[in-house]
A and B are shown apart, each in its own frame.
Chain A
């Protein structure tokens, strides 16, 4: 779809807006609808849009497979890490008051924020991984933007 000017322009303009709204949802997860899951899916949707219009190779130039592999696990590490930190400092597992032992309300807010970031990072990475693994290899050894000539007919035919 790279030869279509409208697609290129719209994707280039839409992607930062989608990412901005995704970050807004992530940060304001506690004060409005949203949170980690929704923000992660939207971040992945922005990159999927880019990958659809400009090709999988181009998208993987920006977000390599190694990066999504690492950040997928990093998110769960952040989440479980806050729990284990609470355990290590003498509180219950995932008892967020351990982050600021005197001030329960602020500690809970900080704990929720950290945990939601973990969820968001993991969900975004895994959605991108799913997109990468499902859409690559339409023919053995080929990338989606050099897809087999009959795939267009098979889809739109």
Chain B
């Protein structure tokens, strides 16, 4: 039982309670506030598991902007949801089946933090970790010889190709912006598409005199 397990358990229990509350509460304004709390708890969970970038993004987007957008949508719709007393059995079966499939899929994954996991052993990943973790720019590492020269007192072990010369300690950024630059480009394009679809759908509707819309 590591030191963070009680904290993880507490956060996960709170998360479960918040998720149930979001669905069960009938006032939509309370649902929106609870969704913001859910995002905050997720951000805390990411932080406890050492995923700082994701925690940052979750807090900013989930507990910040997304809450405002939902409140804005609430002004347009009603404040209470209509009461539904019946359970939809096909929906319940589909959710349980999907959850069971997901859990079955995780049974094959390596243990959390396993040193021999394929993700930790891949040579490209090793290159990115070795040149970013604990590195600072010293101006010399780009020219460091890759094999020991005669006369080295303590022979420098063979270094992987050093792309960044200590410029990029944040290995998340170094991976997503160089090794996975295509993915980040199309993520940005997806965000742009979301903005464009909002403009096409909502701008100029309902007699807004500011701009003519397309639909």
Contacts and interface: CB of A to CB of B under 8 A. Distances in A.
Q: Which among B68, B142, B177, B201 has the greatest number of chain A C-beta atoms within 10 A?
A: B177
Interface in B17-71: 29, 52-53, 55-57, 60-61, 64-65, 68-69, 71
Interface residues of A, number: 62
Interface residues of B, number: 58
A3 B71 CA distance: 21
A145 to B, nearest CB: 12
B68 A30 contact: no
Chain B facing A: main interface SS: helix
Nearest to A31: B169
A148 to B, nearest CB: 9
B10 interface: no
Contacts of B133: none
Interface string A121-138: 011011101110111111
A72 B194 CA distance: 11
B124 to A, nearest CB: 15
Nearest to A152: B75
Contact of B198 (A104, A118, A134): A134
A33 B170 contact: yes
Given A30-B170, A79-B184, 15 more contacts: A33-B170, A35-B170, A41-B60, A42-B60, A44-B65, A52-B68, A72-B196, A83-B185, A94-B182, A108-B178, A111-B177, A112-B174, A130-B198, A133-B203, A154-B75
26 contacts: A30-B167, A32-B170, A33-B52, A35-B176, A37-B57, A38-B53, A41-B60, A65-B211, A76-B185, A76-B189, A76-B192, A94-B181, A105-B167, A109-B167, A109-B168, A115-B184, A137-B208, A141-B206, A141-B207, A141-B208, A154-B75, A154-B78, A155-B29, A155-B74, A155-B75, A156-B29
